């Protein structure tokens, strides 16, 4: 794997999908009038873009937000992370999507509540022409998205499929994280979506619980075999197993990497998106599949140590130290 902190040309990755602002309470427990909330820019593709930027790559985010303070917050935060926001459109029709997070119960489980039906992307206000053209002309090294985008609206579904199709036709590697949200569609809808996009996908990411729901198995080799029966001609399938690590199956051969230990789990939301960033960055830095898996588990582990989806993601220097087994000096 190329381990230099800055290298040229930096691989360029296009991610597309709807960002949101997460309202996070100042204390755990069921949301009540006593809580105060802090806004955090989030969203699966935005999270992955942040992870990629911190790992020294050049992510471009394509989406549409509202002409409102939350939309400004998202654009400002993305820009501050070094993300190319030239394809972030601003629409006066609709408001930026919002979600509320809640951590409660004996296990401090995280629940989320979405308010996005009046967002520009849900209302069909996203104009894809510019980003479609850029896939043809800009020589992206990778395209990444999650299934959430397909479920936001019919217009988003058509746009997202077209972007994958164009990237595939151009020979650009495409990664797809199914990222099931049963509040957006029932399980059968997600099964149909996987079959719809598989012909364009190079790498399929899926969580173990999602795999059990959609494929009735959590074994990466079995999932890859099933995908091959539905038009998949990509490289492999990655099953993310949370605190048990991750397994990839490529050509029927499985590789498993254990999860990294952390002192305390604060918030698990965003860990999967961080894993995606680490895995993609590992491959684009000319790493092997097992090195990419290791980098993915490192970013995922960092993610769970902080409030906010991506705020705990490591820099390339921090991730590299973990890869090399270098311990920081306690003070």
pLDDT, residue 207, reads 98
Q: Is the dihedral of CA 141, 165, 230, 239 positive or negative?
A: positive
pLDDT, residue 326, reads 66
Average pLDDT over residues 263-280: 92
For residue 48, give the nearest of 76, 24, 19, 9 by alpha carbon. Answer: 19
pLDDT, residue 309, reads 86
pLDDT, residue 106, reads 63
pLDDT, residue 331, reads 44
pLDDT, residue 103, reads 73
Query: 310 or 328: which carries more pLDDT confidence?
Result: 310
Q: Is the dihedral of CA 87, 167, 134, 138 positive or negative?
A: positive
Instruction: Answer whether residue 214 is part of any domain.
Output: yes
pTM of the model: 0.93
Looking at residue 321, the DSSP 8-state letter turns out to be H
Instruction: Answer whether residue 330 is part of any domain.
Output: no
Instruction: Answer whether residue 2 is part of any domain.
Output: no
Q: How far apart are CA 232 and CA 201, in angstroms?
A: 7
For residue 20, give the nearest of 87, 155, 120, 162 by alpha carbon. Answer: 120
Average pLDDT over residues 221-236: 97
Instruction: Answer whether residue 1 is part of any domain.
Output: no
Q: Which domain covers residue 249, as residue numbers?
A: 12-323
Instruction: Answer whether residue 282 is part of any domain.
Output: yes
User: Out of 49-63, 108-122, 192-206, 279-293, which region has the weakest mean confidence (pLDDT)?
Assistant: 108-122
pLDDT, residue 330, reads 45
Which one is catalytic: 273, 286, 290, 309?
273
Q: What is the CATH number of the domain that holds 129?
A: 3.40.1190.20
Instruction: Answer whether residue 331 is part of any domain.
Output: no
**Mean pLDDT, rounded, of the chain:** 92
Average pLDDT over residues 108-116: 80
Model confidence at 107, pLDDT cuts 50, 70, 90, reads low
Instruction: Answer whether residue 193 is part of any domain.
Output: yes
Can you give 77-103 as a three-state secondary structure string? HHHHCCCEEEEEEEECCCCCCEEEEEE
The C-alpha angle with vertex 239 and arms to 236 and 245, in degrees rounded to 5, equals 125
88, pLDDT greater than 60: yes
pLDDT, residue 6, reads 60
Average pLDDT over residues 49-70: 98
Residue burial 100-139, b: 16+ Cβ < 10 Å; e: rest: bbbbeeeeeeeeeebebeebbbbbbbbebeebbebbeeee
Q: How far apart are CA 153 and CA 126, in angstroms?
A: 10
Instruction: Answer whether residue 66 is part of any domain.
Output: yes
pLDDT, residue 108, reads 63
pLDDT, residue 329, reads 44
Say whether 68 is catalytic: no
Average pLDDT over residues 237-259: 96
87, pLDDT greater than 90: yes
Quote the radius of gyration of the chain (alpha carbons, Å): 19
How many structural domains are present in the chain?
1
């Amino acid at each position: 794997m190329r381990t230099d902190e800055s290298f040229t040309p930096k691989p360029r990755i296009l991610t597309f999908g709807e960002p949101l602002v997460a309202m996070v309470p100042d204390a755990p427990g069921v949301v009540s009038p006593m809580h105060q909330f802090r806004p955090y820019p989030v969203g699966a593709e935005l999270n992955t873009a942040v992870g990629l930027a911190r790992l020294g790559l050049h992510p471009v985010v394509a989406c549409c937000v509202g002409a409102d303070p939350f939309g400004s917050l998202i654009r400002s935060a993305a820009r501050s992370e070094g993300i190319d926001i030239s394809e972030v459109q601003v629409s006066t029709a609709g408001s930026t999507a919002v979600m509320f997070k809640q951590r409660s119960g004996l296990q401090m489980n995280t629940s989320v509540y979405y308010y996005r039906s009046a967002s520009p992307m849900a209302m069909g206000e996203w104009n894809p022409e510019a980003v479609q053209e850029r896939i043809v002309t800009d020589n992206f090294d990778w395209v990444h998205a999650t299934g959430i985008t397909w479920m936001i609206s019919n217009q988003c579904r058509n746009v997202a499929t077209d972007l994958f199709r164009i990237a595939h036709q151009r020979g650009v590697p495409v990664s797809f994280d199914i990222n099931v949200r049963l509040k957006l569609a029932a399980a059968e809808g997600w099964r149909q979506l996987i079959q719809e996009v598989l012909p364009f996908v190079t790498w399929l990411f899926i969580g173990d619980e999602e795999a059990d729901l959609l494929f009735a198995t959590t074994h990466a080799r079995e999932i890859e075999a099933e995908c091959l029966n539905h038009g998949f001609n990509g490289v492999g399938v990655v099953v993310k197993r949370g605190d048990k690590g991750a397994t990839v199956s490529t050509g029927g051969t499985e590789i498993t990497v254990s999860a990294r230990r952390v002192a305390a789990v604060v918030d698990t939301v965003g860990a999967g998106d961080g894993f995606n960033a680490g895995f993609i960055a590992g491959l684009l830095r000319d790493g092997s599949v097992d090195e990419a898996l290791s980098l993915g588990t490192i970013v995922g582990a960092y993610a769970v140590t902080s409030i906010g989806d991506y705020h705990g993601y490591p820099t390339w220097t921090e991730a590299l130290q973990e890869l090399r087994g270098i311990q920081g000096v306690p003070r």
